[in-house]
Structure 1
C-alpha cells in the first residue's frame, strides 16, 4: 500500500436482507404468530453498521431488490455513513428475507429466502474492484460464501486488497447447512488459509479441530496459516486474543439479553474499526466486548449497533464485567 491514506478503512461484502423476529419465545413457525419487523439485516451489514457508527470509513458490496425492503436497507446503511456505491438494485429478484424464532431454551431457528433473492447476485466491474481494494481491511463473513457469484467476488477482493498491502479479517460463522455445500466449504477453508485476522467462535474452532484440543487447534492455525491475530469469541465468557507471542483475555459485560442476533457481528465490527483507528489490541478487545454486550439489549439485528460514546459509557459503568 502506498503512503497515501486508503480511501476506506473497511470494506465488506455479502448478503443484505430484511429480518422478522418472533415476538414470543417458544413461538413456532407451524402456527400463526406475531413477528416484529422488518429490520435491516445480514451478518456483514450488522458488522458494517457497528464499524461505521464508531467512525470508520466503511464501504459495502451487496444487492437488494427494487422494493420496500431494499429501500429500508439502503436507507439504514446510508444513515450509518456507509458508502453504498456498490450496493446494486436488482429489478428481477426481491430483497432477501429471514424469519427468526426463539425456542424455549433460547436457541434460534431461521427461515431464509436468500438463494432466489437479490442477495445472491453480487458483482463488481473492474473499476469497482479497483476502488474498493483501496482499503485498510476487507472483512469476510462465512455466511456470505453461499453462492458462486459471492465466492468469486470475495476471492477477487481478497487478492486485490492483499496485493495493495491491506489486511483481510474473517469471521467463519460456520453453519452445518453451509458446510454441506462443497463449494462453500472450500471457500471457508480458503479464507482460513489466507486471512490476516481470524475471528472464530468456540464452535468454529471445534469444527476446524476435528477432535483435537482447542489449544492445539489455535496453536496449529497460528503456526501454519497466514494469520497474525486470532481472536476467539467465547460469548458470555468474553474473548481471547492470540498472536505475535502474546495472549490477552477480555471479559464480558453482564447485561440483560433481549435478542442475541448480531452480537458477534457487532463484536467484530467494533474490533476491526478500533484497530483501523489505531487503538491498542487491549483497547480494541474491550470496545468489541462492550459492542457485543450492547447489541443483545435491543430487539432487531442491527438495532443494537452503537457508537463510541455509548460504548465508553458501558465500559465506565459500575456493572459486572466477568
Structure 2
C-alpha cells in the first residue's frame, strides 16, 4: 500500500499584477484569486497524480478559503485536516513580477487563519495515517505551525516513516520566530532534500557543491535533488549522480513550478521508481507548471505527464 503523504502549512490565495514593475506603490491591474501556498500546491500535485495525500492547515470561512478547499478536494486531496476558523481570514499573497523575472510579494500569512495551525483531532488522525511528511520551509513561519510540523515529524519518523524537505525560503519570512532552529531540526530528520540553487549550502559550511553533497549524504540523507531552474535538476545519492536538462517550454508564470517538481519526484520515489524515472517525471511536471498563470493551474495528471514526455 502506498504511503500517505502529509504536508502542513499555509493555504492562501495569490493575486497577481498583470503588468510588470517594482511593487505595489501605485494602483495596478490585478487577476485572481488563485489557490496557492507552497504546501497546498505541493499536495495538490500529489493528489492529481492519484497518490493518497492530505494537508493540515487552516482557512477562514470566506471565499478565498472556499477557492482553495474546493480545488484541493476536487484534485483528490484529503481535506479533513483543514480547519475553518470562523474568526480568521484566509491568507493572501499579492505578487508582481519585475522586469528581470524576479517577484515582489506582499504576504498576509502569519496573521491569517493559517497562522494558527494546531493539532486538532482530525489533524492527529492524519498524522497517524501518514507514512511520509513533506516539510516546506515556508511553513515554519509561526510558533504554533512549527510546533505542529515538528510534532508530526517526530511521530512519523518514530513509526518508520520518511520525510522530504524543500527549504523554499522567502527572504520576507526567514527571520520569523523559531524558524532557523526549526530548520535545523527538520534537516536532521530528512530523507529526501530538495534545495534550489544556493539553498544547498544552508546547512553546511562546505564551500563547493561536491563537498556540500558529500557532507549532507554523510549525515544520513538518502537523496538530494538540486533544483536548478532553467538549467534542469541533479539527483545525488551515495551511489549515483544524475543530471537532467530542463524541458524547454514557453514560460508564463513560474510560481509553483518547484512545488510541482518536488511533489512529483517524492511521489515517484515513494512508489519505488528509480532516480531517472522520478527525475524525468518531476522535470516534466515543473515544465508544465510554468505554462499557465496561477500557481496550481499547471499541476498535471499522470496521463498529462506521459503525453508531454512522449510529445
* Deviations 1:206-257 (CA, angstroms, capped at 9, x unpaired): 444456112111111111x231111111111111111132111122100000
Aligned to 1:195: 190
Residue 205 of structure 1: aligned partner? 200
- Contact 1:28–1:101 (CA<8 Å) still a contact in 2? yes
**Are positions 1:243 and 2:237 aligned together?**
yes
Name the counterpart of 1:312.
306
Q: Is the 8 A contact 1:103 1:109 kept in 2?
A: yes
> Which residue pairs with 2:288 in the alignment?
294
Q: Secondary structure at the match of 2:243?
A: strand
Matched, 1:221 2:216: yes
Match of 2:83 in 1: 88
SS at match of 1:157: helix
Residue in 1 aligned with 2:258? 264
Q: 1:14 aligns with which of 9, 13, 17?
A: 9
Could you tell me how far 1:27 is from its partner in structure 2? 6.2
- 8 Å CA contact 1:136–1:276 kept in 2: the answer is no
Q: Which of 59, 64, 70 is the equivalent residue of 2:65?
A: 70
- State the secondary structure of the residue aligned to 1:84: coil
| Structure-1 separation of matches of 2:168 and 2:14 | 18
Instruction: State the aligned residue count.
Output: 311
Please point out which of 136, 140, 152 is paired with 1:141: 136
Structure 1 portions without partners, runs of 5+ = 318-322
Shift in alpha-carbon separation, 1:242–1:300, aligned structure 2, 3 A: same
Q: Which residue of 149, 160, 170 corresponds with 2:165?
A: 170
Take 2:188 and 2:57, find their aligned partners in 1: how far apart are those partners? 24
State the Cα distance separating 1:130 from its structure 2 match. Answer: 4.4
CA distance in 2, matches of 1:131, 1:106: 38
Conserved? CA contact 2:56–2:123, under 8 Å: no
Instruction: Note the C-alpha offset of 1:133.
Output: 3.2
Choose which of 231, 247, 271 in structure 2 pairs with 1:253: 247
Other structure's SS at 1:133 match = helix
Q: TM-score, normalised by structure 1?
A: 0.92
> Is the CA contact (8 Å cut-off) linking 1:15 and 1:144 kept in structure 2?
yes
Residue in 2 aligned with 1:320?
A: none
User: In the alignment, which residue of structure 2 is the partner of 1:284?
Assistant: 278
- The runs of 5 or more residues in structure 2 that have no matched partner are none
| CA-CA distance at 1:25 after TM superposition | 1.9
CA distance in 2, matches of 1:169, 1:10: 10
State whether structure 2 residue 144 is matched by structure 1 residue 152.
no
8 Å CA contact retained: 1:287, 1:311: yes
Give the alignment partner of residue 94 of structure 2, picking from 86, 96, 99: 99
